[in-house]
Amino acid sequence: MEQLLIQYKQILSDYISNRKEQNLYIGQNYIRQLIQKNVAPEDVINIHRKAIEEIYTQLPDTLTHAYDFLIEVMVQFGLQFREHQSLLVQQEELRIEMDIAANIQNILLKTEMPELESIDIGMVSEPIRKMNGDYVYFLYDEQNYLSVAVADVVGKGVPAALCMSMVKNGLETMKYANHNPSYVLEVLNNIIEKSVDDSMFVSSFYGRYDIEHGVFTYGSAGHEPALYFSAKNESYYDLNSKGLLLGVMPEVKYPQFTIQFEENDFIMIVTDGVTELKNYDVIESRNLLKKIAFPLRHLSAQKMCEKVYSELQKLQDYNLNDDFTIVILKK
């Protein structure tokens, strides 16, 4: 510290005598040296005080007291500053980890929509944060069956993403799309109940479409009811199906139901991020969703999804409360 004081005293004396830009530049380089040596802010003030006292031998006591006060203040400043810097480092490390986790999730949980002539498929899934708590899975085995699963984890972040990977693994054990929704939900429930924390649950809607006969069979595990639009009647119907959330308890049975899918009919499968809007209750949100989708029914399924998402974004001032997922199947 003594050597630092000698250097600083010389730099300060030169500046007081000359007050040139070069002297300031030398002072700035000196500060970089102090940073490299990890000198605390209060020690910098103390070096300055001692240099002043040696340059001006007859300083008033009041100025000395003022320096003492400043040193005490800077001690607290230094502690708070170092704590703040430590938090910034931790936040940056967490951000990097979240970016890596989000990229891994995008790779592991990537959803590919099948392209079929007999049915039009559209999807929008937007996370509110980096990690998406919603998941959509399609299965088409070219045997006249198309299945779709929409899942929503009760939770956020990395734990939710890990839980969703288990959902995907469970769905991938179904090699064929003709499995009954009730059976698929039972299998998923047993996997999740055994594999995840007791505080982690998953809601899911599972539908199977018989392409040859135009029959849509569905079941639900505590998920938001899908909306079925009948073009013939120009009316919406809720696809209600009572079933317990996945992972709550083992050996749960799930009911399933069927509807006849006619030309220009469509089904909207959504997560609660679509229906739990600010300033709207769930019923109002669902009615709003119907109102928005009705004039869009002539569009493709993908365009409908994008338009619905855009309209709801505007209504919520581009600040949705939850992960947003909508899937539309249109005949």
What's the CATH code of the domain at 9? 1.10.1240.30
Contact status, residue 105 vs residue 302, Cβ threshold 8 Å:
no
DSSP code for 142: S
Overall number of domains in the chain: 2
**pLDDT of the residue at 253:** 93
Which of 100, 124, 147 finishes a domain? Answer: 100
Q: What are the pLDDT digits (tens) for 240-291? A: 988 999 988 888 999 999 999 999 999 999 998 888 877 788 888 899 999 9
Compute CA distances 313 → 181, 264, 278, 318, whole Å: 32, 26, 11, 5
Count other C-beta atoms under 10 Å from residue 174's C-beta: 19
- Residue-wise pLDDT for 85-95, tens only, equals 888 888 887 77
Verify that 142 and 275 share a domain, yes or no. Answer: yes
- Residue, of 11 and 98, whose pLDDT is higher: 11
Q: Are residues 20 and 150 both part of a single domain?
A: no
Single pTM value for the model: 0.71
Residue 14 and residue 65 in one domain: yes
User: Is 107 contained in some domain?
Assistant: no
Residues 192 and 70 reside in one and the same domain? no
Examine the domain organization and report whether 59 and 146 are in the same domain. no
What's residue 296's pLDDT? 94
64 and 197 housed in the same domain: no
On whether residue 197 sits in a domain, the answer given is yes
Task: Provide the CA 165 distance to its chain's centre, in angstroms.
Answer: 15
Q: Does residue 323 share a domain with residue 196? A: yes
CA-wise closest residue to 125 among 228, 274, 226, 227: 274
- Span 153-183, pLDDT tens digits: 876 666 667 777 778 878 888 777 788 999 9
Query: Which of 3, 24, 1 has the alpha carbon at shortest distance from 11?
Result: 24
Q: Do 291 and 152 share a domain, yes or no?
A: yes
123 in the same domain as 96: no
Whether residue 294 is found in the same domain as residue 201: yes
In a domain, 47, yes or no: yes
pLDDT (average), residues 25-39: 81
Residue-number span of the structural domain to which 150 is assigned: 112-330
Q: Indicate which CATH number applies to the domain containing 273.
A: 3.60.40.10
Look up residue 246 and give its DSSP letter. B
Is the residue at 105 inside a domain?
no
Q: Domain boundary residue among 100, 122, 137?
A: 100
- Among 76, 100, 124, identify where a domain stops: 100
Same domain, 78 and 129: no
CA distance 85 to 207: 51
On whether both 27 and 122 belong to a single domain, the answer is no
The answer, yes or no, to whether residue 120 has pLDDT greater than 70, is yes
With respect to residue 106, please indicate whether it lies within any of the assigned structural domains.
Answer: no
